Amino acid sequence: MLLHLVRHAHAVTEEENPSRPLSAHGRGEAARLARFFAGNGCFKPAQVWYSPLLRSRETADELIKRLALDAVVVETPGLLPEDDPHELAERLQLHPKDRGDLALVGHEPHLSALASLLVRGKESPALFTLKKGAVLTLESTDKPHKKSGLARWSVRWHVSPELLPAVTIPLTVSAAALPSPTAPAPSVSTPNPDSPAS
């Protein structure tokens, strides 16, 4: 099972609109991601969970619409910026893996903390930084973390919208070209404590 952690794309400022919908730039980020995924077929979640915030829902909607995904879409508690990642990690423990891949559309610093918890067994210091419109994909394993007992996940890949303009579309990537669950993931960002949240 693959778990796609998607940070929402850029939104307008609160001064422009208190609800903070996606900006034109943010919709462009979502479009570039969709073109990339359409070319390589590596983003096909059966379910998409998104936070209650508008920018999260609109990011999910953009990807679903542009990729014509046949996915169950659910507003989900536990995905807000300051939510406890342990709560969602425990919920993932109970999620049947035979239901297909899952995408979570949320915010920083929550997504990075969740990813670190799933990969390493503890949430801090964060192993990853997800820029707006970025996607970090993890794969489930059969091995639990010794201390937490949570299921261990491995990194498959990490992509940000700013990396995509130079990519020729349509892009074809064979399964062999994708990193294996045990291979190092050089594209994964290092922690950045100064990265703005949400």
| pLDDT tens figures, 171-193 | 333 344 444 444 444 444 444 44
d(CA 9, CA 20): 11
Total residues found in the chain within this entry: 198
Residue 67: both structure tokens together:
């990729």
Torsion angle in degrees (nearest 10) through CA of 135, 138, 139, 141: -170
Burial zone of 38 (CB within 10 Å; 0-12 exposed, 13-18 middle, 19+ buried)? middle
Q: What is the reported pTM?
A: 0.82
Of 24 and 190, the one with more pLDDT? 24
Residue 177, classed as helix, strand or coil, is: helix
Tell me: the pLDDT tens digits for 79-132?
999 999 999 999 999 998 889 999 999 999 999 999 999 999 999 888 999 999
Domain 2-177: CATH superfamily is Phosphoglycerate mutase-like (3.40.50.1240)
Q: Please give the pLDDT value at position 161.
A: 84
Q: Name the DSSP class of 145.
A: -
132 close to 8: Cβ distance less than 8 angstroms: yes
Tell how far CA 105 is from the center of its chain: 6
Between the two ends of the chain, the Cα-to-Cα distance in Å is: 27
Q: What's at 101, amino acid-wise? A: D
Tell me: the pLDDT tens digits for 55-88?
999 999 999 999 999 999 999 999 999 999 999 9
Of 171 and 41, the one with more pLDDT? 41
Q: Where are the domains of the chain?
A: 2-177
The H-or-E segment that residue 66 falls in is: helix 54-67
Q: Please give the pLDDT value at position 131.
A: 96
Of 167 and 24, the one with more pLDDT? 24
pLDDT at residue 194 tops 60: no
198 close to 171: Cβ distance less than 8 angstroms: no
Tell how far CA 11 is from the center of its chain: 17
d(CA 8, CA 80): 11
Residue 162, classed as helix, strand or coil, is: helix
The H-or-E segment that residue 47 falls in is: strand 47-50
Find where tokens 């998607």 sit.
6
